[in-house]
Amino acid sequence: MSENIHLKEQWRLLCKFIEDTFQPEGEVDVDGILFLIGVQELGKGHQRFKKDEKINLLHIAICRVLEPYGYYEFEGTDNDGWPHYKLVEPLPNLRAGEQSLMMKEAIIRYFDETTDGVYK
């Protein structure tokens, strides 16, 4: 139970950091944060993306945040600079709540590693 409380507090701090830094309209959610991670990992800065590119950005982010858990492995970038990952191990079958917790934990880990925990 204590671990869950710690995760909730870390998630709250991360969401506040993102809200203060990027000032999005509305509440920050997992998909919005994954989109930001995808844009960051693409490395092309702020720009307008088409619908299919937005889906690809979410995929990049999911692969990237789950890479440390051994589910994905970075393969390289294509000619347009888009990162590609390969599935190394099938994702576990999780219920929606468990899946949400896993993604939040992975996102927090990503921000801990890439920002040296600056959001805390």
With beta carbons less than 8 A apart as the criterion, state whether 93 and 84 touch.
no
Q: Is 1 exposed, middle or buried (0-12, 13-18, 19+ CB in 10 A)?
A: exposed
Compute the distance between CA of residue 49 and CA of residue 39 in angstroms, rounded to an integer: 10
Output the pLDDT for position 119: 79
Output the pLDDT for position 35: 95
With beta carbons less than 8 A apart as the criterion, state whether 111 and 119 touch.
yes
Taking only the tens place, the pLDDT of each residue in 26-56 is 889 999 999 999 999 999 887 899 999 999 9
Instruction: Compare 1 and 58 and report the one with higher pLDDT.
Output: 58
Question: Measured between alpha carbons, how far is residue 108 from residues 22, 49, 52, 65, 83 in Å?
Answer: 17, 25, 26, 9, 21
Taking only the tens place, the pLDDT of each residue in 63-118 is 999 999 999 999 999 999 999 999 999 999 999 899 999 999 999 999 999 998 78
CA 61 from chain center: how many Å?
A: 5
Question: Helices marked H in the chain — which ranges?
Answer: 2-22, 30-42, 51-66, 96-115
Taking only the tens place, the pLDDT of each residue in 15-26 is 999 999 887 788
Taking only the tens place, the pLDDT of each residue in 80-90 is 999 999 999 99
Output the pLDDT for position 52: 96
pLDDT level of residue 58 (50, 70, 90 thresholds): very high
86: CB partners within 8 A, 6+ apart: 72, 73, 75
Output the pLDDT for position 73: 98
